[in-house]
């Protein structure tokens, strides 16, 4: 038998770094989920060893990562997951969808050992535990600086803003995350974490966030403390109420009127189902005039028959002119509930009720969340133009060039 030497056997291999969907394989290595040769596809792809790299973040921290190598046995091309997006602490690492390195780190900020272990198990990254908290702190500062630079660079402003707040759990006492969001374009103008949410605190936060901005309207939840806060600090600005939040109030009040508890999911009696439909019918009107006619028609039919129903109808009468649906007879598409639900679908780890060991950790988590929400390009296809950055009419290509410049600047 005569052995014939393959002429390509000694051919020098070419290495390609690819940005795609990554996974952590059974050996704990960062690997491409579905590597494919641009010439031969997936037919000749096999695993082929590994390589170790040390990454230096913009904060100066060093992290070790093990990458799985794949090779096309036909053309000897080696494929590796690209590290381009891992070099900034708030960069993307994908595993079964969108996952974010810093989001995951800060998520477990109360337990650095758990965070270290999770980074290793999820992403194959190793970082010194003594440097992990510093990484979180330093990145929060960088995120704040970069957010300010980008928001000062000409992002569109609709003049209609939404104030929202969420409780973040702390080991000793809860803190509140305050947000001011652009209602039309959906980006965060400012987010901050405070030890309390007194009227004075909320007022000073709004003044600081909206200083020198031409505001037409401020949208809030239907909380009785907000009208005075807006009136005292922004006397010439319209105060509008989130229609989604009011819908939740209507749901609860109807269950009470029907004698049902909040937690029980028993179906409403027919009488109350009809009332719920009538109120939603009012709130879905295309203009305030149409809603007004529907409301008074309901009052003629139902008022005076049931005290609980009377209260609900009068509450609807008092609230509906101030709901965002009826602002100058223009329906505002995105308010608190809508924005929050969008973030929860765009962020794999989105959960406001995280526990933090310090207010600084909660604040830095908020800062890094802001920079992702505003300026990260969501994968097109699943969410076309869903990034607030895209919705504000800004070009992601320009942002990428800007990112490269700022990363080089931070490294030096």
Helices (H) and strands (E) counted in the chain, each on its own, are: 13, 13
Cβ proximity of 217 and 237 under 8 Å: yes
Q: Dmax over Cα atoms in the chain, in whole Å?
A: 104
Provide the terminal-to-terminal Cα distance of the chain, rounded to the nearest Å.
Answer: 63
Give the whole-angstrom CA distance, residue 119 versus residue 101.
Answer: 8
Cβ proximity of 83 and 93 under 8 Å: no
Token output for 165: 């707040």
Cβ proximity of 90 and 143 under 8 Å: yes
pLDDT for residue 71: 92
What is the per-residue DSSP string for 80-108? EE--GGGSSTT-B--SSS--BHHHHHHHT
What is the per-residue DSSP string for 354-376? -EESSHHHHHHHHHHHHHHHHH-
Cβ proximity of 240 and 222 under 8 Å: no
Give the whole-angstrom CA distance, residue 83 versus residue 55.
Answer: 9
Find how far residue 27's CA is from the centre of its chain.
32
pLDDT for residue 116: 74
Mean pLDDT by 10 residues, the chain (412 residues): 42 78 75 86 89 70 80 90 58 42 52 70 69 70 73 77 83 84 80 84 92 88 88 90 80 79 68 80 76 81 77 81 62 50 50 68 75 59 56 56 38 36
What does the chain come to in residues?
A: 412
Find how far residue 40's CA is from the centre of its chain.
39
Give the whole-angstrom CA distance, residue 129 versus residue 370.
Answer: 25
pLDDT for residue 149: 73
Cβ proximity of 92 and 56 under 8 Å: no
| Full-model pTM | 0.65
| CA torsion through residues 384, 387, 393, 398, sign | negative
Cβ proximity of 35 and 18 under 8 Å: yes
Residue 373's Cβ-count burial label (10 Å; 0-12, 13-18, 19+) is buried
Q: Of 106, 139, 101, 134, whose CA–CA distance to 120 is shortest?
A: 101
Q: Of 119, 15, 21, 19, whose CA–CA distance to 69 is shortest?
A: 15
| CA torsion through residues 385, 347, 92, 183, sign | positive
* CB atoms near residue 194 (< 10 Å): 18
DSSP class of 19: -
The structural domains of the chain, with segments of one domain joined by +, span 14-139, 140-241+332-411, 243-322
Beta strands in 57-207 (DSSP E): 62-72, 77-81, 125-127, 160-170, 175-182, 188-194
SS3 25: coil
pLDDT for residue 206: 94
DSSP class of 338: H
Give the whole-angstrom CA distance, residue 27 versus residue 160.
Answer: 51
pLDDT for residue 356: 74
φ, ψ of residue 262 to 5 degrees: the values are -55, -50
Give the whole-angstrom CA distance, residue 14 versus residue 16.
Answer: 7
pLDDT for residue 3: 34
Fold of 140-241+332-411: Nucleotidyltransferase; domain 5 (3.30.420)
């Amino acid at each position: 038998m005569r052995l014939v030497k393959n002429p390509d056997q000694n051919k020098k291999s070419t290495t390609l770094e690819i940005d795609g969907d990554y996974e952590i394989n059974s050996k704990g290595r960062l690997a491409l989920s579905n590597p494919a040769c641009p010439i031969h596809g997936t037919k000749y792809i096999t695993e082929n060893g590994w390589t170790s790299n040390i990454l230096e973040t913009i904060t100066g921290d060093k992290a070790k990562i093990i990458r799985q190598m794949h090779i096309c046995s036909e053309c000897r091309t080696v494929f590796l997951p690209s590290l381009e997006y891992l070099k900034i602490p708030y960069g993307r690492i994908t595993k079964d969808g969108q996952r974010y390195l810093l989001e995951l780190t800060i998520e477990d900020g109360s337990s650095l050992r758990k965070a270290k272990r999770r980074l290793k198990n999820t992403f194959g990254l190793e970082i010194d535990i003594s440097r992990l908290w510093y990484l979180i702190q330093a990145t929060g500062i960088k995120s704040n600086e970069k957010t300010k630079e980008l928001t000062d660079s000409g992002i569109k402003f609709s003049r209609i803003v939404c104030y929202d707040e969420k409780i973040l759990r702390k080991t000793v006492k809860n803190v509140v995350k305050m947000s001011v969001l652009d209602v039309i374009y959906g980006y965060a103008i400012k987010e901050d974490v405070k030890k309390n949410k007194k009227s004075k605190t909320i007022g000073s936060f709004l003044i600081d966030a909206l200083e020198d901005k031409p505001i037409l309207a401020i949208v809030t939840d239907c909380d009785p403390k907000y009208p005075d806060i807006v009136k005292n600090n922004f006397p010439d600005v319209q105060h509008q109420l989130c229609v989604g939040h009011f819908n939740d109030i209507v749901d609860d009040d109807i269950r009470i009127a029907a004698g049902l508890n909040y937690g029980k999911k028993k179906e409403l009696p027919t009488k109350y189902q009809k009332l719920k439909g009538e109120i939603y019918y009012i709130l879905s009107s295309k203009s305030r005039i149409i809603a007004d006619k529907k409301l008074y028609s309901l009052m003629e039919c139902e008022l005076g028959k049931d005290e609980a129903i009377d209260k609900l109808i009068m509450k609807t009468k008092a609230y509906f002119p101030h709901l965002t649906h009826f602002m100058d007879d223009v329906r505002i598409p995105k308010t608190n509930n809508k924005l929050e639900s969008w973030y929860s679908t765009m962020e794999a780890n989105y959960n406001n009720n995280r526990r933090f060991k310090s207010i600084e950790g909660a604040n830095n988590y908020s800062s890094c969340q802001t920079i992702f929400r505003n300026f990260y390009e969501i994968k097109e296809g699943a969410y076309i133009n869903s990034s607030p950055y895209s919705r504000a009419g800004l070009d992601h290509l320009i942002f990428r060039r800007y990112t490269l410049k700022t990363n080089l600047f931070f490294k030096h």
